[in-house]
Amino acid sequence: MLKVLIADDSALARAFMIRCIQISGIPDCEFFEAANGLEVIEQLKESVPDLLITDINMPKCNGIDLVKRVKANPKLSEIPVVVMTSAGNVEQRYELEKLGVTSILSKPFTPPDVMKIAGSLLGNNDTDTEGEW
């Protein structure tokens, strides 16, 4: 079973992301949620996910600081990380790429956007969803 950890201070955003992945056709995903980066760090002590999806703007520990901590830890550094951001800041995107982020998902995003990224990272290459919405 694939483990996906989703970090966002918005419960609605987490639920939307989960639903997008569920309808993408990827079987057997188990979802874990965190409202901030510190919750993610605590969860990573217990279990290592197959994919980490995080927002940038979160309280207590933002997404950039979280990515730095994850990528600096040899036990966690290979986890694919998708960052959700509403910032169009080119410098921030460059920093994220330098940190080793696997993909950047611009807000607002659509279910097909999520499905394409999740499918490529979690092993479902059949992400053609035209007409399903």
Domains and CATH numbers, the chain: 2-122 (3.40.50.2300)
Helix segments in the chain, DSSP class H: 11-22, 37-46, 63-72, 90-99, 111-122
> Is residue 89's pLDDT more than 90?
no
CA 116/CA 127 separation, integer angstroms: 5
| Dihedral pair phi/psi, residue 107, rounded to 5° | -90, 145
Work out the percent of the chain whose per-residue pLDDT is above 90.
57
What's the pLDDT band for 116 if we cut at 50, 70, 90? confident
Checking if the pLDDT of 127 tops 70, the result is: no
More confident residue, 64 or 118: 64
Task: Kindly tell me if the per-residue pLDDT of 132 is higher than 60.
Answer: no
